Structure 1
Amino acid sequence: MPKVGMPKIRKPQLVNATMAVIGKVGLHGASIALISREAGVSTGIINHYFGGKQGLLEETMRVILRQHSDTVKSALKVLPADAHQQRINAIIDANFIGFQTKSKVTKTWLAFWSYSMHDSQLKRLQRVNEKRLISHLRLELKALLPLERANIVAAGIAALIDGIWLRGALNPTGIDANAARIIINDYLKLQLKNSQN
């Protein structure tokens, strides 16, 4: 029987080990044996806390999504409710700074992204993330654009975020946050200007 309080230590330890192993060998090569070795625990601990590899993979994705959501919420919390363009920029920045840009996290995101096409639970988690991003953007854009345009521009910004993030994740030099901001803000300015004409 694990000691009281150990889940708070073991679960993050196993999630971090999962990301490290995925970074080294990819999702398909990330076996329970390699993950438990990386974490310095027995393979039985993974089954005990997560019910097996699938449960651990899902929890790893949830941790990444929670961390991302917390980054967005923290960035928005400090901005006035009517500072819509600043809030859009904060949402954009949250996708290209901190935890989301760590090598092990980008590799894990990328692996999950491709794997979610074949796994219903991971696909559901990916859809939640996508809907959350578009919802945040749409909320701010509705104050600047008519609703129909706000929906289109929100989808456009989300596509730019995904595309730039994907290219950066595949690039050996990583994600260029400044270039991302410039590209997306250029698109946003153009859309806002067009709506005034």
Structure 2
Amino acid sequence: MPKVGMPDIRKPQLVKATMAVIERVGLHSASISLISKEAGVSTGIINHYFGGKHGLLEETMRAILRELSDTVKIKLSGLPADAHQQRIIGIVNANFEGFQAENKVAKTWLAFWSYSMHDAQLKRLQRVNEQRLLSHLRIELKALLPDEQANLVAHGIASLIDGIWLRGTLNPEGIDAEKAREIINDYLDKQLAFYHPSSL
């Protein structure tokens, strides 16, 4: 966590620099020296406010997670409360469009996923993000399916989001948000048809 007193203007500047350097050279080669040069600040500032590379990576991931959370909220706020299937797709879209689909953000996500397997604090952040996604999905799915099945389908959609997103970031052409929407809608339609066959 950054120390209290870190100028607000510096945080986005350093987060942006961290992502740019990770995109260019990868996480392991993304040294404090390279990041500070990219941001136009001294290495001392990073070490003082973030305690080094690990703290800066944590703050970078917090910034990305906040952006994702805000995007989901914006998507949902523009949809009727009873448009549950549309709201599910809104949640899906938030994971594949705009900021989250930028190459530098995608590469930082991949680095974060890898790093979090061996770091308790980053693993906790990943867990919070996972639970937030599942919670959003369950809220909408419980209006359409029995509780047990809603939970199962929420996990299914989350797995599809992660898998499609991972494949997209490793593809030179990037993430195909339309294809992601098509695949997840197909999965959801089949789940709903199984429990509500008479509605077809």
Deviations 1:137-182 (A, max 9, x none): 0100000000000000000000000000000010010000000000
Kindly state the Cα deviation for residue 6 of structure 1 after the two structures are TM-superposed. 7.1
Secondary structure of the 2:144 match is: coil
Separation in structure 2 between the aligned mates of residue 61 and residue 71 of structure 1, nearest angstrom = 15
Equivalent AA in structure 2 for residue 178 of structure 1 = E
Q: Rate the CA distance shift 1:36–1:163 in 2: closer, same or farther, 3 A.
A: same
Q: Where does 1:14-53 land on structure 2 (aligned, <5 Å)?
A: 14-53=14-53
Note the alpha carbon deviations across 1:3-45, whole angstroms, 9 max, x for none: xx97121111111000001111111111100100111111001
Deviation at 1:194, TM superposition (A): 0.6
Q: Which residue of 1 aligns with 2:62?
A: 62
Looking at structure 1, the residues matched to 132 and 89 of structure 2 have their Cα atoms a distance apart, in angstroms, of: 16
Structure 2 equivalent of residue 143 of structure 1: 143
Asked if 1 retains the 8 angstrom alpha-carbon contact of 2:6 and 2:49, the reply is no
Q: Which residue of 2 aligns with 1:96?
A: 96
Q: Which residue of 2 aligns with 1:152?
A: 152
**Aligned twin of 1:76:** 76
- How much does 1:78 deviate? 1.5
Aligned to 1:196: 196
Counterpart AA for 1:118? H
Instruction: Report which stretch shifted further, 13-22 or 74-83.
Output: 74-83
Give the TM-score normalised by structure 2.
0.94
What is the match of residue 128 of structure 2?
128
Alpha-carbon distance in structure 2 between the residues aligned to 1:160 and 1:11: 32
Alpha-carbon distance in 2 for matches of 1:182, 1:76 = 19
Question: 1:116 is matched with which residue?
Answer: 116
Q: In the aligned structure 1, how far is the partner of 2:76 from the partner of 2:6?
A: 34
Amino acid at match of 2:146: P
1:7–1:49 Cα contact (<8 Å) kept: no
1:87 match: 87
- CA shift at 1:48, angstroms? 2.2
Distance (whole Å) between structure 1 residues aligned to residue 7 and residue 172 of structure 2:
35
8 Å Cα contact 2:15/2:59 also seen in 1: yes
**Cross-structure match for 2:181:** 181
Shift of 1:130: 0.5
Give the letter for the 1:128 counterpart: V
Letter aligned with residue 15 of structure 1: V
Does the CA-based 8 Å contact 2:145-2:192 persist in structure 1?
yes
Q: How many pairs were matched up?
A: 193
Deviating above 6 A after TM superposition, structure 1's stretches of 4 or more consecutive aligned residues are none
Read off the aligned partner of 1:61 and give its amino acid letter.
M
Q: In structure 2, what is the equivalent of residue 105 of structure 1?
A: 105
TM (norm. structure 1) is 0.95
Provide the rounded CA distance (Å) in 1 between the counterparts of 2:157 and 2:195.
16
1:45-92 Cα distance to aligned partner (Å, 9 max, x none): 101221221111100000000000000001101212111111111001
Identity %: 77
Aligned with 1:7: secondary structure?
coil
Gap regions ≥5 residues in structure 2: none
Counterpart-to-counterpart distance in 2, 1:169 and 1:79: 28
> Residues of 2 paired with 1:6 and 1:125: CA distance?
21
